[in-house]
């Protein structure tokens, strides 16, 4: 099971991962002030990532609430940053 990690999720980087045959994709959540901003960033990032593989991991969520939001929006895994 091969997982690709993106330091920054962009459509171009996601397409490159898909071409490489990656089965899952992970990326790091940027620091954001509000949950609304987090959702605005995460929703399109997850849509792009789902085109690559079935599993999507979001590293560095800054609150448990954001981890839960990532799950509701479609991430299969999330990690908490203290």
Q: Which residues contact 37 (CB under 8 A, 6 or more apart)?
A: none
- Cβ atoms of 51 and 82 within 8 Å: the answer is no
Provide the pLDDT for residue 40: 95
Provide the pLDDT for residue 11: 74
Please write the tens of the pLDDT for every residue from 32-82.
999 999 999 999 989 888 888 889 999 999 999 999 999 999 999 999 997
């Amino acid at each position: 099971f091969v997982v690709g990690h993106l330091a920054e999720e962009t459509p171009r980087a996601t397409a490159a991962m898909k071409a490489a045959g990656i089965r899952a994709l992970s990326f790091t959540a940027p620091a954001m002030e509000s949950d609304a901003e987090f959702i605005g960033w995460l929703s399109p990032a997850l849509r792009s990532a789902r085109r690559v593989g079935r599993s999507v991991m979001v590293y560095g969520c800054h609150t448990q609430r954001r981890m839960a939001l990532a799950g509701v929006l479609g991430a299969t895994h999330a990690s908490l940053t203290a």
